[in-house]
Amino acid sequence: MLQFLKKIELPPEENCSFDHGDVDQTTGRVYVAHTSSGTVEVFDGQQERWTKKIPDCAGGSGVIFDAINNRIFAASRSAGHILSIEGNSTDVVLKFETGKKPNGLAVDGERGILMTADVGDNYARFHSQNTGEVLASVKLSGRPRWSAYRKASDQYLINIMEPSGVEFISGKNFSRTGFYPIDQMGPHGLVIVGSFAYVASDDATLSKFNIDSKELAGKAALAGPPDVLWHNAKQNLVYCSIGDPGVVQVFDGKTLEIVQEVKTEYDSHTLTFDEKRQKLYTFQPDSHSVGVYQA
């Protein structure tokens, strides 16, 4: 069960809004897009303090850590570029152009590929992590949202807002290989766990389906329109952040039964999870802070 530990504030600013975040499981560093300030904020999860602002990320949206290559990638949705941040130094080592409004990100670390899903032109672009070169561009079925790479089937899964569903793209040749329609409105959060994908949709529904058989495995009602999903592999729990009314709901990964609901703050719609240390972080714009929870 989640237990609240503390809230740690950033220096006060007039505006505050957060988007996606991720964790370096080796160091415990947390990286989150601070959209309003155009920065990537670095939080030291072991020392429990904010340590760095990485600039040049206007309209920051997607953030993802590639453990294989020890790189953090951050999408600047306003400027149309990607920052490649080295994991040890936390310095920007490469900046490269992508579409006009990159949002969701996914990585194939073994091949050194970064995928950007663009909400401006509805394209997925596949970049070399080393150079930023665009290796392929794929027109999507609609506006993309959360994205993920599944090594087991060598596929990228991309939530599509309308038509409602999940797009499948081959990791080998970057071709569209299928589309799984979802009868809920506006797929948003996405997490892959083994053979299953969990999708949180705008109509306050959590769905689970088998990626290989394309069969629905369950549904659950949410407290409101969701954003981010994260999975706790050790406990097989799925965490869902909901900005209105401001809660994290916790679901049993097998049954989709709700096992806990934790109050956060209004508009706290994004979170990330440190599997190694079993710590969950919620990003709270009203108090300009991170909430730290022990799982």
What is residue 15's predicted lDDT score, i.e. its pLDDT?
Answer: 84
Read off the pLDDT of residues 21-75 as tens digits, 9 standing for 90 and up. 999 999 999 999 999 999 999 999 999 999 999 999 999 999 999 999 999 999 9
Nearest Cα neighbor of 105 from 190, 34, 35 is: 190
Structural domains in the chain plus CATH codes: 3-294 (2.130.10.10)
| 227 close to 241: Cβ distance less than 8 angstroms | yes
Q: How confident is the model at residue 11 (pLDDT cuts 50, 70, 90)?
A: confident
Query: For residue 31, which amino acid is it?
Result: Y
Q: Each residue of 62-87: pLDDT tens digit?
A: 999 999 999 999 999 999 999 999 99
- Identify the residue whose tokens are 């503390």: 6
- The answer, yes or no, to whether residue 12 has pLDDT greater than 90, is no
Q: What are 230-261's pLDDT values in tens digits?
A: 999 999 999 999 999 999 999 999 999 999 99
Model-level pTM? Answer: 0.97
